[in-house]
Amino acid sequence: MTKSDASVLLFFIDGLGIGTRGPFNPLDNLAGAAPLAVFQNETPETFLDGIVVPTDPRLGIEGRPQSASGQTTILTGVNAPAAVGYHKQGFPNKALLEIIGNYSIFRQLTDAGVEPITFANAYTSGFFSERPRWVSATTAAVEAAGLQFRTVEDVRNGAAVFMDYTNRILIERGEDVAIRSEVEAATVLARIVAENRFTLYEYFITDKAGHAQDMDLAKTILTSLALFIRELLIKLDLDRTTVILTSDHGNIEDLSSRNHTLHLVPTIVWGAQREQIAARIQTLADITPAIVALLTGK
Ligand SMILES: [Zn+2]
């Protein structure tokens, strides 16, 4: 295998930390939760030799880690909370958008000549007809490189995955798409990964379930998400593709509180390059540099 064959899937899960066992952790004794069932002070149950790297989302800044600054850090390699002096919730502000505009992983890879690269998630027509005033760090990161967004039409054609990969939320919003099983969604995402050198996929219902403190919803989505990930890993060529799963902060692993947690997050790395990548990661700021180094051979 030459360097130019290598590819990476960054699988981002919002609000998944490494918690302790107990009645408030939906992953405790949850059947079918591997590889997401990672607990403090325990050797995790691995799947396909994935390496779990407990990763620091607090980044040396006081307070609870938040989505906008955490995602900016993951997607740029810049310690965003340190750069702006605080953890920023929700959507990135001007200061964070500036960091994303300059250092987005999509832009770094494009500038280094790594292509094709893509964001696998689909956007609904509302996004294109009336652009929201606030956009996610991910959206801004994709735009920083001038990449195209995938659409619901792409979902219908088997060429995109919605953030709810089952399509249930799309159907509730009135879109004409079919329900997808975890296996079907994994087939579509695996195909996108095979066609690209870098793919980002984003899932954030975990964070919503955490804020809602909804144990039943949490168990349902975590079981489904774990199955989706296992099916995906089976379908990928892990000699060629390195898979890096990570999160911006904890939340769903402790439903005793509606807040984000202060826990470390699980970065899990699969593929032939997993040892080298895992060795580089300590905080969320290490993810983008590790990916750029792998794909540019530096
Ligand atoms: Zn949140």
Mean pLDDT in runs of 10 for the chain (298 residues)?
Answer: 77 98 98 97 93 98 98 98 97 98 98 97 93 94 97 97 97 96 98 98 98 98 98 97 98 98 98 97 98 94
Q: How far is the CA of 189 from the centre of ligand 1 (A)?
A: 25
Ligand 1 centroid from CA 234, angstroms: 30
Tokens of 103: 């250092």
Q: Minimal CA–CA distance to 171: which of 190, 155, 187?
A: 155
Contacts of the segment 166-175: beta carbons below 8 A, 24+ positions apart: 166/224, 170/124, 173/124, 175/124
Give the three-class secondary structure for 67: helix
Distance from residue 62's CA to the centre of ligand 1 (Å): 17
Cis peptide, bond prior to residue 65, ω within 30 of zero:
no
Q: For position 31, what pLDDT does the model report?
A: 96
- Rounded distance from Cα 211 to ligand 1 centre (Å): 7
Residue 151 CA, ligand 1 centroid: distance in Å: 25
The rounded Å distance from CA 257 to ligand 1 centre is: 12
How many angstroms separate the alpha carbon of residue 207 from the centre of ligand 1? 5
For 3-296, the fitting CATH number among 3.40.50.720, 3.40.630.30, 3.40.720.10, 3.40.50.10860 is: 3.40.720.10
Per-residue confidence (pLDDT) for residue 65, from 0 to 100: 98
Phi, psi at 218, each rounded to 5°:
-60, -45
DSSP state, residue 5: G
CA distances from 115 to 4, 146, 159, 197 (A): 10, 13, 18, 6
Name residues whose C-beta falls within 8 Å of residue 234's C-beta, 6 or more positions apart in sequence.
Answer: 48, 186
Ligand 1 centre to CA of 260 (Å) is 6
Please choose, from the candidates 234, 262, 204, the residue with its C-alpha nearest in 3D space to the C-alpha of residue 11: 204
CA of 18 to the centre of ligand 1 (A): 15
133 CA from centroid of ligand 1 (Å):
19
User: Six-digit token pair at 144?
Assistant: 């920083």
CB 285 within 8 A of CB 50: no
* Helix (H) / strand (E) containing 55: strand 51-55
Q: What is the dihedral of CA 142, 285, 196, 149, to 10 degrees?
A: -20
CA 180 to ligand 1 center in whole angstroms: 26
Do residues 74 and 96 touch, judged by C-beta distance below 8 A?
A: no
Residue 30, token pair as written in the block: 């949850």
The SS3 call for residue 78 is coil
Q: Ligand 1: distance of its center to the CA of 282 in Å?
A: 22
Q: Compute the distance from residue 295 Cα to the ligand 1 centre, in Å.
A: 31
CA 152, chain centre distance (Å): 20
The b/e string for 145-175 (b: 16+ C-beta within 10 A; e otherwise) is bebebbbbebbbeebbbbbbbbbeebeeeeb
What's the CA-to-centroid distance between 68 and ligand 1, angstroms? 9
Supply the pLDDT for residue 4: 61
Task: Give residue 261 CA to ligand 1 midpoint distance, Å.
Answer: 10
The two structure tokens encoding residue 27: 């992953």
The helix (run of H) or strand (run of E) holding residue 143 is helix 137-143
Collapsing DSSP states into helix, strand and coil, what is residue 173?
A: coil
Q: CA-to-CA distance for 232 and 240, rounded, in angstroms?
A: 14
Residue 15 CA, ligand 1 centroid: distance in Å:
6
Query: For residue 166, what are the CA distances in angstroms to 139, 172, 283?
Result: 21, 12, 31
Residue 204 Cα to ligand 1 middle (Å): 9
pLDDT given for residue 1 in this prediction: 42
Q: Which amino acid is at 103?
A: Y
Residue 176 Cα, ligand 1 centroid: separation in angstroms?
29
Hey, what amino acid is at 83? A
Which two tokens mark 244? Answer: 């890096």
215 CA from centroid of ligand 1 (Å): 16
Please tell me the distance between residue 95's alpha carbon and the centre of ligand 1 in angstroms: 20
CA 67 to centroid of ligand 1, rounded, Å: 6
Contact partners, residue 139, CB within 8 Å, separation at least 6 = 149
pLDDT recorded at residue 203 = 98
